[in-house]
A and B are shown apart, each in its own frame.
Chain A
């Protein structure tokens, strides 16, 4: 029986469809050595780029707070002298003053004394303790209260803040320079606040003076 070309072709085509499944799997999974090497080189390059990026970001995240602080004339403590804490933000001031300011450590806000002396209190984001300044004089307290009222309203975006600050007035009231001194913002519950004000330069300078040991 003589078969046409089309029939023969058809048989062959069908038989190719029935070849060993191991060879079919091999055909799909096969990658040439050259291509594998190329893929390996590409992956290595991507890994290196990622490593450089991650290292760079880590360095930036570790140091960025310091980059926004404007140093004063003093470069740092020397001869036991107190450093200049001239900064653009109260947050930066307190970060710079960390470990060097004059303070008393309270374990938490529940240890705060509301009656008697007035104090400046502050807390670091990564630290549950509350730092309490020396007792404020009447003049300092009056000036702080006045300057708090001069704070500028926060814009659409609140500035990054890694510290929280309060002022106990000694009569049971608590203020924070980050909120306007409206009745609702003066109480012991003000320990939990969302910043509405940006403290003025004068206020920052005044607090800087108070924190000096």
Chain B
């Protein structure tokens, strides 16, 4: 089913939207979440939560790229869960510090840039200026958390080439962020 039809189902509050989303993107979302969490059960829960978030977001959202839209939600939920798991493993001190941190007012710097979207814009610009293959490598690795082997297979290049390219891209990004006095 075409993305726009699935989105129409969400807007019509038709529960078939979730089944169709799962049929079309379920495996990809599961893979994305699993690559972050390394747990099939957690990944499954994150994907289910993704559909719930999507259900709540539509309407009002009307994504043109449903796969990417759902991927973003899955990634966010999975990262949150990953942080939650690691926080629990590190014990209560970290949690207390984080709670206290919420009481401290933001005073500029990176957090401000993060809030006002500078970092986001710079990152998008950086990616847009890259050649397609390099951009694809970067996003498959740092958004979709694919392994070097998976990227190499998808792009029909050696793992070594992926590794070297990603290293150079990280270096380029670091220089760009430094120039812009970000991070």
Contact = CB atoms under 8 A, between A and B. Distances in A.
20 contacts: A1-B111, A14-B76, A15-B114, A15-B120, A16-B142, A16-B143, A17-B79, A19-B120, A20-B127, A21-B63, A21-B68, A21-B69, A22-B65, A23-B128, A25-B67, A27-B136, A28-B140, A30-B136, A31-B154, A35-B156
Interface of B: 28, 63-65, 67-69, 71-72, 75-76, 79, 106-111, 114, 119-120, 123-124, 127-128, 132-133, 135-136, 139-140, 142-144, 154-157, 183
Given A1-B109, A25-B65, 6 more contacts: A11-B183, A18-B120, A19-B124, A21-B72, A28-B28, A30-B132
Interface of A is mostly: helix
Contacts of B119: 11-12, 15
Contacts, number: 104
Given A12-B119, A15-B119, A30-B132, A21 B64 contact: yes
B157 A32 contact: yes
B139 A23 contact: yes
B110 to A, nearest CB: 5
Given A8-B183, A34-B156, A15 B123 contact: yes
Nearest to A22: B65
B143 A24 contact: yes
Contacts of A8: 110, 183
Nearest to A36: B156
A14 B157 CA distance: 28
A32 B63 contact: no
Given A21-B72, A35-B154, A11 B139 contact: no
Interface residues of A, number: 29
Contacts of A152: none
Contacts of A18: 72, 120
Contact of B139 (A13, A14, A24): A24
A16 B119 CA distance: 10
